[in-house]
A and B are shown apart, each in its own frame.
Chain A
């Protein structure tokens, strides 16, 4: 029994933290922030899942993760004129998956032996290239984007309306987290990826090609980024070039760091936590006099505090 508990320690600690936070917020009358934060945080969590996957398998901070999503948004925008929404959505996810695959093949694989910071610069280059091409082929203006579900008044939690689109996001995230969790603990491929991230040499020795696993992981990460963008961004009604990098990437990284950079449930919880902190802090009197949007500043402060005080994250083991 104790062994089982220990094996699931990060889940249990995470859930306990989440419940404690929820109780605290409800007790202090901030339940609205809880609802809003959970919905925005779910998108961060989904992007963070992709970041953690890539970090686990290749040790790279993937700065192109956000742009997988924006490229998918563009694909959805273009395809939506031609075909049915759901078909367009599928097409957009396929486009993102292809981008993930090509990024791994063309950029990551030749730099397999290079230090991780070089890969970081390279993925940042991929992100900038994606933004540049978006502006080049389209323009810098915002574009309208369609939703999957239009009804907004079906569900009300603590007096806050949660649109169906948001519910879909949360459901999708929960399903993905569970599927990925099972995948990494129960399937051969998943275990091989975990092995490759922990001990590449030994993994090669037992006959698993670490490089081949890497392209699979990048495709999965790209699909996660695409889903986050395709479901979360339409709530705002429009999108612009680089939107996933400028407004989702850093909160998602903060979420991943908060979760310890290698923990999937940690990334998920970290995302929700960042969402809640953002929505509490932006209404707090402390931040009233600060000009501009406060969300960015809140994320910066959280990131700095976490990295200085507890660099291994809330659920991480060992040093970061």
Chain B
């Protein structure tokens, strides 16, 4: 698989080099090209950094949730995209992170920073234990284990009164200096930037490349001296830490964590947004996560959406924002799996490559291996 992919990529490169102007060298955009790219970059930055300033606090809270979901998508991507193990119980990791952070701040009187650190550590420890126990279990069976674990979290872990505050939920105030929705939004953006950076650097290190080799073929990887168990556990811990961090951020964004949101449906929404976003495509994952978190918000903002639904016979009620992800999400997933297996990331690749200073090539779908079809069964 690896060898084939490599040849294909190099063929593509060769094709590109033939198209390049004589004089060779790396493609450099013209000054106008640079300007166009700078304008788009500025537009994206404006959308992410400046637009929220003019919105109401409740809207900004939704945007912050989008940022947190992007972290969740990146966390799930480490398991699904890098290791090739599917987690259907990720709501447990995120939920335990949320409750841990809320518990540390409210009951233990610790600072926000300490709480986030502990939540991330607990997330990592959880993933380490589950990973260590189920090292022998792969593919379909691992999906079963994680789904079952998610249900255990829902039925047992979240029933621990001291941790979750029972039916009333646990309070999670916003940290000092970041009390307003806007400031907290920028704080979460900073955390997302850190997660993106760690993810990017991790895949450039030896252990990151070991992971990719391992996903392709664990036996070949181990003959190259990769410690399969260690590399897998490492990825699990990274994924767990990201998930715990995301949970803590979500908790302090909502300022209250209640038990009933961390259910099986949420775990499936997490998987769906990761797959729809596109495995191993950071921008796709961020967009996928943010899109699913903002779906309720978008539906509210689209004018005439309710009337449109009301006109369809057989549909008895309007599609409320809470239900929308459960109905639209799976539909997108199925379209995605059947038609565009690379997800949003693959569809956007020509644009992201162009923004990165490369030539615009509408047919550039990245290396062939960027498909969700390589998760091991």
Could you tell me which A residues sit within 8 Å of B by CB distance?
A: 59, 61, 63, 106-107, 110-111, 114-118, 120-122, 124-129, 131-133, 135-137, 242, 245-246, 250, 253-254, 257, 290-297, 299-300, 303-304, 307-308, 311, 320
Contacts and interface: CB of A to CB of B under 8 A. Distances in A.
Interface of B: 86, 88, 133-134, 136-137, 139-141, 143-145, 147-149, 151-152, 154-156, 158-161, 263-265, 268-269, 271-272, 275, 315-317, 319, 323, 325-327, 329-331, 333-334, 337-338, 341, 372-377
Given A118-B337, A291-B160, A137 B373 contact: no
Contacts of A303: 144-145, 148
Contacts of B264: 242, 245-246
Nearest to A249: B147
Contact of B155 (A124, A125, A129, A292): A292
A290 B156 contact: yes
A121 B140 CA distance: 10
Contacts of A131: 265, 326
Contact of A300 (B148, B268, B325, B327): B148
Given A117-B377, A128-B272, A132-B330, A304 B317 contact: no
Given A120-B143, A246-B264, A257-B141, A296 B152 contact: yes
A296 B151 contact: yes
A313 to B, nearest CB: 11
A306 to B, nearest CB: 10
Contacts of B327: 129, 132-133, 136
A122 B152 contact: no
Given A133-B327, A291-B160, 12 more contacts: A110-B338, A118-B341, A121-B333, A125-B330, A129-B334, A132-B329, A132-B330, A136-B319, A136-B323, A253-B144, A294-B156, A307-B141
A295 B155 CA distance: 9
* Interface majority SS (helix, strand, loop, mixed), chain B: helix
Nearest to A126: B330
Contacts of A110: 338
Contacts of B373: 114-115, 118
9 contacts: A110-B338, A124-B271, A125-B268, A132-B327, A136-B317, A253-B148, A297-B152, A300-B151, A307-B137
A19 to B, nearest CB: 29
Contacts of B161: 291
Contact of B141 (A128, A293, A297, A320): A320
A63 B272 CA distance: 14
Contacts of B160: 291
A320 to B, nearest CB: 7
Contact of A120 (B86, B133, B374): B86
B272 to A, nearest CB: 6
B338 A308 contact: no
B268 A122 contact: no
A241 B137 CA distance: 31
Nearest to B141: A307
A137 B149 contact: no
B286 to A, nearest CB: 20
Given A61-B143, A116-B139, A136-B317, A299 B272 contact: no
